[in-house]
Chain A
Amino acid sequence: MSASVELRSVTMDFGKYRAVDNVSVKINPGEFFSFLGPSGCGKTTILRMVSGFIEPTAGQVLIGDQDMRGIGPNKRPTAMIFQNLALFPLMTVWENISFGLEVRGVDKTTRRAKAEELLKLVELPGVADRFPSQLSGGQRQRVAIARALAVEPQLMLLDEPLSALDLKLRQHMRAELRAIQKRTNVTFIYITHDQGEALAMSDRVAVMSRGQIQQVDVPQKIYNTPANGFVASFVGENNKFTGELTSVSDGAGKFKTDVGEFTVTLGQGVSKESKCRLYVRPEHIGFAGKSKSHVNAIPVTVEDVSFEGNFAVVLMRDKAGRRRSAEVRNDPMNPPPQPGTSTTITFDPDKALVLLDSEAVAYAERD
């Protein structure tokens, strides 16, 4: 059983501070849905409204088409995995896992059996009688997942549950969580500020900033066709250019900057009058060796090259003194230019996105 979730114009105020501002989104049953955003963007507040710890100031939260207003967290078909896991330290592992069943009046033998079964599901057999403090971080993580699954929720809420783990374990647990979600087919709502996590695990991602959803889409679309400057800056790296649109025709146009005029693709809702900037991802930057007559070319001086193995990051400065970066695949036959050399960088018009530059951009840059 898995439930759909719908937020209808949900707003949450804490005193004068508006944490969530008129958010509407529909999450499908069985979907792995992530809210991605910087800290303070309101994503945790959304999770707490869905779980029932707080009631929205305005708007509706629906779980499986049922309005949840006035229904406490203990009466909702949700289970939450907390950032610090919040395992009960004075209960053994199996008591922790079966706590939700104990609440429902299930007898001890059945509870114990169910706990063992769930420990197998999360691949952690044989620790039932230990205390959480006797387990490692990754093991505790699995116990928290098992405890949430024990109540057979229609909806799992995960509040940055992997942030306390080290990198290796985090990557392993990503795949694990995804596999458990597919196996149980429960709707997952996942909160994170880690774009890698959100992109790798989710069916769909909602990027949030300042209490508002900036874009809801599949991970590929979030990365490749960001809705605005905030999404482009928050998810992945970018070379940003300030300037203005000089001509616009059918989704394309000319963008004039102090280092030249470029042929560009227009993002969502961009018109000639809108405040916007040009975004080019480092991996879409090439070096003009063969095609000297490229439409978009900028002369630069290479400052530094950092070799990362499968790719290299080339750091450069354009003639206006701004830093530019390019990511090139490792190719021994075609090495990147050496530091100190002057060269020309190019990018294709369909990879040069002019995006709406709202306040959110300034916010992302300050972070």
Chain B
Amino acid sequence: MTDLIQRYGRGLSWLSIGLTAFWLLALVILPYLGLFEQSFRPYLPVDEIGGPNDHYTLHNYMALFSNPQDITLCLPGKDTIPGSPIYLPDLVVNWPIHLYIFILTIVYSSVVTLIVLMLCYPIAYCMAKVMDPRSLPTFFLLLVIPLWVSELMRSFSWYIILSLNGPLSTLLMDLGILSAPVRWTWGLCGYSGIMVGLIYTYVLFMLFPVYNAMTSLDSNQIEAAEDLGAGWIRKHWRVIIPHCKPGIASGSVTVFMLAASSLLVPSLLASPKSRWFTEVIQQWMFESHDWNSGAAYAFLLLVVCTIFVTVMMKLFKVGLSDIAK
């Protein structure tokens, strides 16, 4: 603090502190507090707000567990994996529909995180330990340029690529690999389009932390492991992955949170079967104009995702301080 004042003078220091405080308080904390308070009040006509019916209740939160519907669970079978020999009979359950969407969102976000990690780990390893450092700036540029294009544009381009008579189907048909166009967004129980979009959008959020962790690993340690007889699996499992764990954790948390809270990709690359929890929140707020329920759902998403991430970090023995590195 005194250091700050010494360096920039009294005026500039207080100005920057004041602006940061204003930004945090007025633009972040207060709106959240407002929504949080609102989420505990019922959705009422304007003239009843502040009236006898306007009291605190958990009704908005409990809505997640109401409205049970018959849902046909998507299990691996002929419909989901073309040509699969496994055939499981349809399993119909009677679950609250929003809860079901909520669970699917968490599950698919986890799968997206896992796939992104599996894509990024070898790339990060090559960049940090195999590639000629002189070619890295070019490589980085090629990786980052797509990030400069707006998310909307990128999602739309995938929408075009994956569409029924789009470039991908046409190309594969011209090559004789496919005989009829494929609905690319309908696979994986209707979530394949969303998965492709989310992976493409958030892949760099995993790549950079993992790459950073990888560069800080002393190459001599890899060589020492090799020298002591370790094959490549053990080399990665015992030496490289443990070292990169903070980077992997930080990337995974970022990708998971971004995927679970993404709205644009799940709406654009949707299929008739797919629903994302953010879409439900959006419906509450902008279609039903029920901001109270929307806020309650949004907080549920935030809290559950935070708990999920915390549990995962405990499971993989990563501390919060590791991620901050």
Contacts and interface: CB of A to CB of B under 8 A. Distances in A.
Interface stretch (A81-89, A169-177, A302-310, A315-323): A81-89
B45 to A, nearest CB: 61
Nearest to B239: A88
B234 A78 contact: no
Contacts of B224: 80, 82, 86-88
Contacts of B227: 51, 53, 73-74, 78-80
B230 interface: yes
B130 interface: no
Contacts of B220: 82-84, 86
Given A90-B242, A90-B243, A100 B229 contact: yes
B231 interface: yes
Interface residues of B, number: 17
Nearest to A159: B220
A151 interface: yes
A212 to B, nearest CB: 26
Contacts of B229: 74-75, 100, 103-104, 151
B259 to A, nearest CB: 29
A172 B134 CA distance: 42
A79 B225 CA distance: 10
Interface in A96-140: 99-100, 102-104
B231 to A, nearest CB: 6
Nearest to B231: A74
Given A82-B223, A90-B243, A151 B218 contact: no
B289 to A, nearest CB: 54
A87 B239 CA distance: 10
Contact of B228 (A72, A90, A151): A151
Given A86-B218, A90-B242, A99 B226 contact: no
Contacts of A87: 224
B10 interface: no
Contacts of A80: 223-224, 227
B179 interface: no
A73 to B, nearest CB: 5
In order of increasing CB-CB distance, the 7 nearest A-B pairs are A86-B220, A100-B228, A86-B224, A103-B229, A73-B226, A80-B227, A82-B220
20 contacts: A53-B223, A53-B226, A53-B227, A73-B226, A74-B229, A74-B231, A79-B228, A83-B220, A84-B220, A86-B218, A87-B224, A88-B221, A88-B224, A88-B225, A88-B238, A88-B239, A99-B228, A100-B229, A104-B229, A151-B229
Interface of B: 218, 220-221, 223-231, 234, 238-239, 242-243
